[in-house]
Amino acid sequence: MSTTTDQPRIALVTGGSGGIGRAVVKRLAADGYAVAVHYSGNKDRAEETVGEVTEAGGRAIAVGGDIADENAMAAAFDATENAFGGLDVVVNTAGTMLLSPIATLDLADLDRMHRTNIRGTFVVSQLAANRVRTGGAIINLSTSVTRTQLPSYGAYVASKAAVEGISLILARELRGRDITVNAVAPGPTATPLFLEGKSEELIDQLASMNPMNRLGAPEDTAETVAFLAGPARWVNGQTIFTNGGMA
């Protein structure tokens, strides 16, 4: 692993108060990272996650802010650097998913989702490009549905395809900085965001789409993120599909 110092690495995880983000926080903390747990609306949940990390002997703080507000997120980056002395890894798990056929999608929902998923990713990536230290990593979350083309996911997939484009181009723009940029594209994962509004029949159907015959767990994605955050220095400008083999 290439780093500028022998000090413990420092990570900021957006959306770190729940779902995949929470699993990423706990995994990175277990790997020895000091972690800033970002939240947008659920401060109590973020503080609970911080408490779990510190009780286990790790270091963590909670930082808040609207993911798409560049000033709020700059303050979150500032708070992370002030607390821990720098920043090595940024993991952007914050996002929203609103499903509808394209023909009937409420355009207000389109705007809301794209503000979080596209503008939010751009804001975080832009700040990370200017703040992450040499030897660091930037990791954004996409979705495996970008290649499965499931009905009703059109607007969501459009936003996540943008996430992949931002990530892969930023990797090339950071030439010479020794900073990797990758996207992780989970398959169906048992999080509140994913399970909301779905019938048991649909959940079972989605679970059967991979040869492992189960939904992913948040910890499955956290495993991939931890790999990209640390030892995977030769994986750069890629989208990693973490989905159990879903076709």
Give tens-digit pLDDT for 190-245: 888 778 878 889 899 889 999 999 999 999 999 999 999 999 999 999 999 999 99
Active site residue 156: yes
Give tens-digit pLDDT for 57-89: 999 999 999 999 999 999 999 999 999 999 999
CATH 3.40.50.720 fits 10-191+218-240, yes or no: yes
- Annotated catalytic residue within 33, 39, 153, 156: 156
Cα-based distances in Å from 118 to 121, 141, 220, 237: 5, 11, 24, 18
Map out the domains of the chain as residue ranges. Answer: 10-191+218-240
Give tens-digit pLDDT for 159-191: 999 999 999 999 999 999 999 999 999 999 988
